[in-house]
Structure 1
Amino acid sequence: MWLLFAFLSAVLLGFYDVFKKHSLKENAVLPVLFLNTLFSSLIFLPFIGLSAIAPSILEGTLFHVPLVGWDVHKFIIIKSFIVLSSWIFGYFGMKHLPLTIVGPINATRPVMVLVGAMLLFGERLNLYQWVGVMLAILSFFMLSRSGKKEGIDFAHNKWIFFIVMAAITGAISGLYDKFLMRQFNPMVVQSWYNVYQVFIMCPILALLWWPKRKETTPFRWDWAILLISIFLSAADFVYFYALSFDDSMISIVSMVRRGSVVVSFLFGAMFFREKNLKSKAVDLILVLIGMIFLYLGSK
């Protein structure tokens, strides 16, 4: 069951990437990120408030947010800093790179999660799962070849570095999520980490963007910014629920979620008119075959 939720999360995450790419086109990055955190927190604030004022209404449902103390909130604040670091790197990288490059790079993130899951949680893969992981690694090296045809040097392009850093911090976040889901309610983690991100983003926006806003890319409102928050919140809700199952494996959930690259790749080809699609499609097929092996290995 948890694997099906992971696949659903992947689809929702793909649409999140598409709306994020659209929102960042010729737009200021930090205000878009701030609004994303703000809207995401507004989605969950009613559940926090209702659970506190009238707990009997949501109690026993997936949307109930139990009251917790500082002993829990301190771990959630750490989660907020990790996720926000990944997003800052990822947003800047996505603005300056084709979606058909960013998606497959992000699809390699689960390999880092796999290594961490084996070391920290004692997870072990079977033959099918190992084949899936090896195909994901191979796709990354093939993607670097495709990128060179567009003048993108993986070794010296700073935006590639940003996306790689986003993947590394995202992998750390994934491993931390498994640790959190072993101890805490999923809604407590998701609702409060969104709220804390708003408070973290306020000084970042005030100190880094506001003083130089007239010298850099101007901010413009786009309704896709709201859709970023909606699809991300839905994707994370399903993701946290999948991790709450006792037999769930973060190495597999993380890998399946990177299947979002299928959605982002198709939109990158059809709506953003990105180039060099044939060779990138080969990289994507490798990722998809890897997903199939992971699914077979998890049955």
Structure 2
Amino acid sequence: MTRPITAGFDGTEESAAALGWAAREAVRRGLALRVVHAWRFQSIETLAEAGPDQQAEWAREAVEQAAREVRERHSGLEVSVDAAEGGAVDTLVAAAVDAETLVLGSRGHGAVVGFLLGSVGQQVIVEAERPVVLVRAGDQPSAEVAGHEIVVGQQGEPEDSEAVLRFAFETAAARGAAVRAVRAWTLPPLFAYSPSSLKLLDDAGGLEPYERKALASAVQPWRERFPEVPVVEHVEMGSAGQVLLSVARRAQLMVVGRRARRTAVGARIGSVAHGVLHHSECPVAVVPPAS
């Protein structure tokens, strides 16, 4: 089954930017575009004379108008719309099931340039079965130019980063871009050393050579699968979030893995994804683990 690129749209500036990003990505990949809008019946006084049917018609007309504008900009792009009554999180998570990628607008940005991830965006990222891309208001197609890289964070063993590397290489191939694969490392606490780990480090020649070999091993299968994609392997000591942000100035897209966890006060995404989402100046893709 061919999956569409799906964009969540609510009429805001940031969702319009997300829709524009999704449309361009659909064109590049030769996929259809689906525009999804969630709405709820409003019984407030100013809408007292408009029943559910009338409000449903208004919601659909708003998303249809956005779809018409996309069709005008991208002749030949197949665009479908879905205005569903229900909560935004449930609607978007359900839409992601059948999507190649779900694209959302960020809620805005604060004093530090970057994303301000609202509760809807966070919950969707935690629950979605497919990659979710967050796009800031004001995102411009001019950032998607030759020479600008797809930056992807790699952690753990090769199988741990299979999904995130696949997404990065597929995106780079569609755009004619390079991939910068980033692996950050820190000195482990003394109690983390064991005879077996010390032997691995000795065989590799030390901590940094060990990390370089680990990154090369994870990336190699994707180099072979996408020989046309230039690759830069970047290993640096530091926290993963800080290292990723430091190399993202010329990034078209930042790609990170999802490590969600549930707490007493709700679901939380991992610290790396959280930090990157709040401070990245480019769109960010959060990719769930391979199933």
Greater relative contact order (Cα < 8 A, sep 6+) = 1
Q: Larger Rg: 1 or 2? A: 2
More helix by share: 1
Same fold by TM-score, threshold 0.5 exceeded?
Answer: no
Scaled to the shorter chain, the TM-score interval is: under 0.3
More strand by share: 2
**TM-score, length basis structure 1:** 0.22
**TM-score, length basis structure 2:** 0.23
